[in-house]
Each structure stands twice: as C-alpha cells, then as structure tokens.
A and B are shown apart, each in its own frame.
Chain A
Amino acid sequence: MKCIITIELGTNGIRMFAYDLDGKVIGSMRGYYPTFHTEPDHSEQDPEQIFITTLYVLKNILNEYIHPKKYKVASICFCASMHSVLAVDKNGNPLGNAITWADNRAKKEAQELRRSELGKKLYAATGTPIHPMSPLVKIAWIREHDAGRFKQTSKFLAIKSYIIHQLTGEYMIDYSIASATGLMNIHTIKWETDALQYAGITASKLPGLAPVFTSAGKLKKAYQQSLRLPADTKILIGSSDGCLATLGDGVKGEGKATITIEDSGAVRVMGPAVLKDDKMRFFNYLLTDNCYVSGGPTNNGGNIFEWFTRQFGDFTNPFDIENSIGQLMEEASKVPAGSDGLLFLPYLLGERAPIWNANARGAYFGLNIKHERKHFVRATIEGIMYEIYSIGKTLGEQRNIKSLSVNGGFGTIPFCTQLIADLFNKPVRLRRQFHSVSFGAFLLSATEMGIYKSLDDAAKTVELPDVYKPNKQHHAIYADYFTIFEKLSAKLFDEFEAIDELQHKYAVKLTS
C-alpha cells in the first residue's frame, strides 16, 4: 500500500497529514514552533527549530501510522507560508533567524516603493502587493540596516528552501513561493531584473526556480536511516499554503471563490488570467504555468475574536479558549442580525486588502443605550465578516463569483459560515474536519504520480458536501449596515493615521 505525506510549514508550527492514494486521511500530527518579537515590528522564527520540529514530527507520524502498517511512502510533499526570508552564508548556515510574513520592519521601504512608479511596475510584473510582508522590501531593508548580514549572505532563502536544503542538499524554490517574494516575474517565470536591482542583489543570491511538481533531490543517507525511508522516496517541492488551500477546495474553474479564515484570512479565486488592479489591492500568485491564484488577504480573522474572548469571555475552565469561544458564539446567536445597529471595524492589526492601511485601527460604532454585552459579541463577529465581504466585493468587480467555499478553523464555525452565506447572499460549501491546504498538497502529489491527468481533473474530484443557504432577510440587513462599514473604513483614514501616531508617541516602553 502506498501513501502520500504532506508537510505544511505554517505560521504557528508544522502540520503533517498522511493520505492513502484515495485521499483518505491515515493520520495527522502537529508540532509547534514559536515566533519571536524581539522588537515591536519584528517577527522571526528559528530555522533550526523548524527543521528539528520537521524531523521530529515526521519521525513520529512514520512510526505511529506508516511503518507499523507497512505503508510505502510514495511522496512527501511540502507546503509553506509565503513571504519568509532567511539569509544563509556560503556554508548554508543561517545568518540570524528567518523573517516571517508578519514582520513589519520594512514598512518605510514598502510605503515609499508603493507610492513610486517603480512600485506600480513591480506590482504588475511580480503579482505581489508592495507591503512589508514582501521579501523584496525585506531584503532591501537588510541591505540598508544590516549591512554586515547582507554582505555575508550567500543566498536569501524561503523557510521551505532551507528545510529542503537540510534534507537533500538542494537549493530550490517553487513557483508559488517564489511568486510571493515580489522578485519573480509571474508572466515570464524568471527573476525580475528591476526587482533584483531594487533589492540590490543578483539572481545568484536566490535559489533556483522550480515548478511545483519538481522532485527536490534525494533524502540524505542519515535521514533515510533515521526515518527508515528508502532512497527513492520522492521529496516533492510543492507549493504555498494559499495556493494549495484554493486547490484543496476544488476552486479551479470559472465562478468559484474560496474564503479562508484562520487567525488571518483571505478570499481567493484561481484561473488562467491575473487580476489587474490600478490600486494594487490583489495578489496574483502562480500555482503552475497559466494558473494563477488571485485574491486579497486580511490581517484580522479568528485572532481578533480570540482577542475579544480573552478580554471578555468566561474562563470557567482555565485556558480553555475553545469552550469560551463556544459560549460567546451562543450568546451572539441570541442577538438579531446586524446587532441592533452596533458596528465593529476589526482592524486591530492594521489591514491589508482591500484598504492596505497598516495604521488602521479597530472601532465600535453606533452604540446606543440599549446595547448590551451580547451585542458587542455579535458585532465583533459581524465586523470580521464584513471585512471578508469587502474583499469579496472588490474581487467581484473583476470576477463573477457564483459559488463560494469556506475553510479554516474560524470560518468553518457554523455561526460564522452562516454569516458568510447571508452576507454574500450565496450558498457556501465546506467539508467538516477537512484540511484544505494539506488536501491541496495531496492533490498535487497525486497529480504528479499520474493518478489524476491534471490539476483540473484533481480539483474536480473535491467534494464539499455541507451547504449553508443564505437567509435573504438577513442579507438585506447586512447589506444596509455594510454600506456604513465600508464608508467608515475609508472615512477614518486621517484619524487612523493620527491615532497611530499618538499611540506610538505615548507608548510606554515595557521593561521586563
């Protein structure tokens, strides 16, 4: 019996799934690694710990589910968060920690570039919005502010490239991850000269570009032995979490869109053409030749409701946030749709799409004397969903979205899924206990093995049996309130700027 293992190097840790060739889950495991914030704008991860966690979890999943049942591992497919940067020296040893997508140190560089003509040109060429998340501006930041590291750097890698290099000795980066670096031309699939020039590097400082189906070399002998895997085990380079979540939900084809809401969120479509946008609001990442995953990301998803729960939830069971979230959802369901006119702007972490304003902040609006605690609960959830809807609405200007699917821990909570269906006024499909990203990686591997003729065929096999139908009356109410939500988000631009300035000015430096 053959099996496929998918490895997702995510923001909060690693997630592995083992599938049989029919796509049935044999087993799954997780392993956490931390994110360090040594400075307010910094967000880093330790490449060695990510590597050790990869080995550890892989070993555990093999020993628990695979070896005892005599499965043969046909392929191990990688998948990772986008936008990470790790500098390594000529021996391949890391120069400091990996910088994650959430790192904001390059915000000045990003702001300047975004406003320039070059920025517009690079956005159109690379598909990556000009934002501090982009490796393009991160590398420029290192050149400006960390000249020692810049000089010593032999290659700027993505986290996934580093892990694969440890396992096989190859330096490579797949099209999907590369297309999220702001350095690759998504039309020619080559490193973009103007981008390289802006970052101050040559293509030799980057790993080799490889299609997502590329076999990334042989496992080193020591790992073959310690993991008890044969030498011919295929290590598939794979793709990015965003692209694979979209594939995993079967969103290949006209009129389909998928909504992911975990800590953060995104609305995505997939197709043969890129979304062009003068306001540079959308990303266009590459899955394979002529297949782009496009859409908009939000910073404020489930993490915002977790924040709310930590402040105002009941913690009858210590540290049991799931239970507390459940109670609050229950409370929210007792409030009429629209929260009797209480609106919430969820921009606690600044915002990306569609307003792309790092200075945006949260607000409750429309409070009157009749509002109670439970209204705040519902308004908070509605605010997070209004923001998702505002991304979907801007996407809708370019694509006719007919069917929607939802995935991710927060989005698939029934109360949230229903809200999405009502807001979009469209049926929403999903599958419970389903992990879209890793299933996308499974489809990719299975296609590479010839089980499916193409990714199109693979995507067509995805079944999302649960359907949430929209409630027309609720939709009408939400649509009315949404117009105010949208106006507020734009109108408060100056005040966001002003309050951000004051928050920095009066920030008390914590000495712990």
Chain B
Amino acid sequence: MNQFVLQYGKSNELLLFPHILEVGLKKNASVSFNTFLTTATEGLRLYYIIEGRFEWRINNQPVILYPGDVAVIMPGVPFGSDKGNLEVGAFTWIHLGIQKLENGQVVPGKWSGLSDSEGAAIGKILLLNPSPVLSRFSEAGKILKCIQSELFSTEVAYQARVNHQLDELLIQVTRQLTRQNHSARDFPKTFMHLEEMLRQNLAHQWTVEEMAALVGMGTTLFTEKVKSYSGFSPINYLINIRISEAIRLLKRPDITVTDIALDTGFYSSQHFSTTFKKLTGYRPSEFRNNHLRNI
C-alpha cells in the first residue's frame, strides 16, 4: 500500500465515520527533522510499526518501537519524538474519537457494537494501562490494513465492516495489554496488581467482568481463582477493601459519612450503612461516635 492520510472533515472516504479522526500510512525513506512533533489530542491514537526502528516519547517516557509493535496513546497524552525527528521506516496509524462521560469514564461511542458495560470495561482498562507499547502484536497491523482497504474499496456493507474491525481492534488491543502484563504463572502477583488497581479506583463501580479483564482473564477462571486464593468472591473481596478503607476514614472527623460512602464505592449512604452494619454490627455513624469519643 502507498502512503496516504485521511482526515475526517477533509477526506470523503471518512464521511460516514465521524469517529475516525485520522487514518494513515507513512513510509519515511530518509531521516527527517521537525516533522514528528510532540502533540496531545482528544482522540485515542494507535500506531503500528511496519518497518524500521523508531524512538518516540509517550507521556514524556522514551520508548523504542520495532516492527510489529503498537504504541497506544490515550486521549490527552503527549506523544511525538524529540526535536520532531523521524527515523527511516514505515508505520500506519489511526486516531479514534473516544467519548468521555461525565464520571470520567471513556466509551467507544454509538458506532460501536460493544455493549455499554463492555465498552466501559475496555475504556477503564485502557485508562489504567501502565505500558503504552504492545510488543510483537502483528494482529493489530492486519486489522488496520483491513480497515484501510475497506475504506478505499467501498464494497457493499463496508461501513459495518469498518466499524466491526474497529471494535475488533479495541478488543484485541485491550486483551493484549492485559495479557502482556500478566503471565499465567504468578497468580499472587496478578492479584496484587488487581488489588492495587482496586484501591486506587475504589470509587469506581467495578464489575467482575472489568476486574477479570484488567488482569487478562475470563470471568469464570478469574472468579474461581480469586475464590480459591482469597477465600472470597471478587465482589466480596472488593467489599472487604471498601469497608476497611471506610473504617479508616470514619476515624477521621473531617469527612462526612456520605462522602466516605461515595469515596469507597458505595452508590448511596444507605447502601453503605446497610453493608457496614451487616459486617461490623455498627451503623457507620455509631462506629464513628464510638471511636471519636474515645474508648
């Protein structure tokens, strides 16, 4: 395939795809300067390396990419190369418009065939992802190639096909991200990582699907492993963490019970109160009074 760049609003090929902000392929025959400057955009950007070796910066961290690697750049994250230099080689990319919801979640948007909860899970995992590079992930290259040829050939039902492939790309990238970070050898380490993520995002309404996906496992195996490792189902384990954190916060006088409930992931102070009492025997306010009053 030859070099090209399509942009929504400029290129007719993208008329039906307002969520594809940009798609392109670049073949760089000689080192060029000031062409690949650091930018931050609203969209999700995926770059797939076809040939060569590129030294870029994602979120100010240096990364080196080789053929088959994918760079995943989240909305708002600065990305480019030092001094805008671009090495010899070829790569292809796509910029996707991603919908940001009021609660901070990101979801793919209406074009996607993903259900709301699956879309939210993928958005969450991408947001939490610590490593912006997927190594040796040629699957992504194949999908991008397919999307591009569909856009140019406009065969029957190409609109649906492109959107299907975009879903496929998001799914594969997300799965690869979690698999890459978790070998199937060390469940304690995997669980530790999950635990850390839960603690850092305690206010989030976690689902088992999200938790499982976060560590690259299917829900069935995940639930079984968590149960046999921790003695608790994933949701009950999460409740443990929530109540533990709530207890710590209740011992401080400067935060209201409602705020504690929301901060620790209960959807209402009523829900918090019921769960707390069931486990501890006290209503949160009683517990607080006991501890502030001294024992």
Asked if B280 and A226 make an inter-chain contact with CB atoms under 8 angstroms apart, the answer reads yes
Instruction: Let me know if A13 is at the binding interface, CB within 8 A.
Output: yes
Asked if B281 and A315 make an inter-chain contact with CB atoms under 8 angstroms apart, the answer reads no
Expressed in whole angstroms, the Cα–Cα distance for A140 and B295 within the complex equals 27
| Contact status of A319 and B185, CB under 8 A, knowing A52-B279, A226-B278 | yes
Instruction: Assign chain B's interface to a size class.
Output: 35 or more
Closest partner residue, chain A, to B287 (CB atom): A222
Asked if B184 and A315 make an inter-chain contact with CB atoms under 8 angstroms apart, the answer reads yes
Expressed in whole angstroms, the Cα–Cα distance for A182 and B192 within the complex equals 32
Asked if B225 and A319 make an inter-chain contact with CB atoms under 8 angstroms apart, the answer reads yes
Closest partner residue, chain A, to B186 (CB atom): A310
Expressed in whole angstroms, the Cα–Cα distance for A55 and B278 within the complex equals 10
Residues in A neighbouring B278, C-beta threshold 8 A: 226
Asked if B185 and A310 make an inter-chain contact with CB atoms under 8 angstroms apart, the answer reads yes
Residues in B neighbouring A225, C-beta threshold 8 A: 281
Asked if A13 and B230 make an inter-chain contact with CB atoms under 8 angstroms apart, the answer reads yes
Instruction: Let me know if B240 is at the binding interface, CB within 8 A.
Output: yes
Asked if B244 and A52 make an inter-chain contact with CB atoms under 8 angstroms apart, the answer reads yes
Instruction: Assign chain A's interface to a size class.
Output: 35 or more
Expressed in whole angstroms, the Cα–Cα distance for A177 and B243 within the complex equals 28
Asked if B241 and A93 make an inter-chain contact with CB atoms under 8 angstroms apart, the answer reads no
Select B291's contact among A51, A52, A57, A93, beta carbons within 8 Å: A93
In chain A, positions 86-113 with a C-beta closer than 8 Å to chain B are: 90-94
Asked if A49 and B244 make an inter-chain contact with CB atoms under 8 angstroms apart, the answer reads yes
Closest partner residue, chain B, to A318 (CB atom): B184
Instruction: Let me know if B66 is at the binding interface, CB within 8 A.
Output: no
Instruction: Let me know if A355 is at the binding interface, CB within 8 A.
Output: no
Residues in A neighbouring B13, C-beta threshold 8 A: none
In chain A, positions 315-329 with a C-beta closer than 8 Å to chain B are: 315, 318-319, 321
Instruction: Let me know if B30 is at the binding interface, CB within 8 A.
Output: no
Residues in B neighbouring A169, C-beta threshold 8 A: 295
Select B281's contact among A29, A49, A57, A223, beta carbons within 8 Å: A223
Instruction: Let me know if A32 is at the binding interface, CB within 8 A.
Output: yes
Residues in A neighbouring B294, C-beta threshold 8 A: 90-91
Asked if B243 and A52 make an inter-chain contact with CB atoms under 8 angstroms apart, the answer reads yes
Expressed in whole angstroms, the Cα–Cα distance for A94 and B240 within the complex equals 18
Expressed in whole angstroms, the Cα–Cα distance for A32 and B195 within the complex equals 11
Instruction: Let me know if B248 is at the binding interface, CB within 8 A.
Output: yes
Instruction: Let me know if B231 is at the binding interface, CB within 8 A.
Output: yes
| Contact status of A49 and B185, CB under 8 A, knowing A31-B230, A91-B291, A91-B295 | no
In chain A, positions 41-70 with a C-beta closer than 8 Å to chain B are: 46, 48-49, 51-53, 55-57, 59
Residues in A neighbouring B83, C-beta threshold 8 A: none
Residues in B neighbouring A336, C-beta threshold 8 A: none
In chain A, positions 1-59 with a C-beta closer than 8 Å to chain B are: 13, 29-34, 46, 48-49, 51-53, 55-57, 59
Select B231's contact among A57, A310, A315, beta carbons within 8 Å: A57
Expressed in whole angstroms, the Cα–Cα distance for A321 and B187 within the complex equals 9
Select A48's contact among B187, B237, B248, beta carbons within 8 Å: B248
Asked if A31 and B225 make an inter-chain contact with CB atoms under 8 angstroms apart, the answer reads no
Nearest CB of chain B from residue A485's CB, rounded to whole Å? 28
| Contact status of A49 and B241, CB under 8 A, knowing A310-B185, A321-B187 | yes
Closest partner residue, chain A, to B295 (CB atom): A92
Asked if B280 and A52 make an inter-chain contact with CB atoms under 8 angstroms apart, the answer reads yes
Residues in B neighbouring A315, C-beta threshold 8 A: 184-185
Residues in B neighbouring A52, C-beta threshold 8 A: 240, 243-244, 247, 279-280
In chain B, positions 168-196 with a C-beta closer than 8 Å to chain A are: 184-187, 190, 192, 195
Nearest CB of chain B from residue A139's CB, rounded to whole Å? 23
Instruction: Let me know if B221 is at the binding interface, CB within 8 A.
Output: yes
> What is the interface of chain B mostly: helix, strand, loop, or mixed?
helix
Nearest CB of chain B from residue A305's CB, rounded to whole Å? 14
Instruction: Let me know if A211 is at the binding interface, CB within 8 A.
Output: no
Instruction: Let me know if B229 is at the binding interface, CB within 8 A.
Output: yes
Expressed in whole angstroms, the Cα–Cα distance for A210 and B292 within the complex equals 28
Instruction: Let me know if A433 is at the binding interface, CB within 8 A.
Output: no
- A476-505 contact mask (Cβ, 8 Å, vs B): 1 or 0: 000000000000000000000000000000
Instruction: Let me know if A512 is at the binding interface, CB within 8 A.
Output: yes
In chain A, positions 214-236 with a C-beta closer than 8 Å to chain B are: 220, 222-223, 225-227
Asked if A32 and B241 make an inter-chain contact with CB atoms under 8 angstroms apart, the answer reads no
Asked if A319 and B187 make an inter-chain contact with CB atoms under 8 angstroms apart, the answer reads yes
Nearest CB of chain A from residue B60's CB, rounded to whole Å? 11
Instruction: Let me know if A313 is at the binding interface, CB within 8 A.
Output: yes
Expressed in whole angstroms, the Cα–Cα distance for A313 and B184 within the complex equals 11
Asked if A55 and B279 make an inter-chain contact with CB atoms under 8 angstroms apart, the answer reads yes
Expressed in whole angstroms, the Cα–Cα distance for A34 and B237 within the complex equals 11
Select B282's contact among A48, A57, A222, beta carbons within 8 Å: A222
Instruction: Let me know if B251 is at the binding interface, CB within 8 A.
Output: yes
Instruction: Let me know if B232 is at the binding interface, CB within 8 A.
Output: yes
Nearest CB of chain A from residue B263's CB, rounded to whole Å? 15
Expressed in whole angstroms, the Cα–Cα distance for A32 and B232 within the complex equals 8
Asked if B187 and A53 make an inter-chain contact with CB atoms under 8 angstroms apart, the answer reads no
Residues in B neighbouring A51, C-beta threshold 8 A: 244, 247
Closest partner residue, chain B, to A512 (CB atom): B130
Asked if B187 and A49 make an inter-chain contact with CB atoms under 8 angstroms apart, the answer reads no
Select A29's contact among B184, B187, B231, B295, beta carbons within 8 Å: B231
Expressed in whole angstroms, the Cα–Cα distance for A397 and B295 within the complex equals 51
Closest partner residue, chain A, to B241 (CB atom): A49
Closest partner residue, chain B, to A32 (CB atom): B230
In chain B, positions 218-273 with a C-beta closer than 8 Å to chain A are: 221, 225, 229-232, 236-237, 240-241, 243-245, 247-248, 251
Asked if B240 and A56 make an inter-chain contact with CB atoms under 8 angstroms apart, the answer reads yes
Residues in B neighbouring A59, C-beta threshold 8 A: 279
Known: A225-B281, A226-B281. 16 other contacts (CB 8 A): A29-B231, A32-B230, A52-B240, A52-B247, A91-B295, A222-B281, A222-B282, A222-B286, A223-B281, A226-B277, A310-B185, A319-B184, A319-B190, A319-B221, A319-B225, A321-B185
Q: Could you list some 5 contacts between A and B, CB below 8 A?
A: A13-B231, A34-B192, A226-B279, A310-B186, A319-B184
Considering the complex of A and B, which 10 residue pairs feature the smallest CB-CB distances, nearest first? A226-B281, A222-B281, A318-B184, A32-B230, A49-B244, A30-B231, A48-B244, A319-B187, A31-B231, A48-B247
- Please list the residues of chain B having a beta carbon within 8 angstroms of any beta carbon in chain A: 130, 184-187, 190, 192, 195, 217, 221, 225, 229-232, 236-237, 240-241, 243-245, 247-248, 251, 277-282, 286, 291-292, 294-295
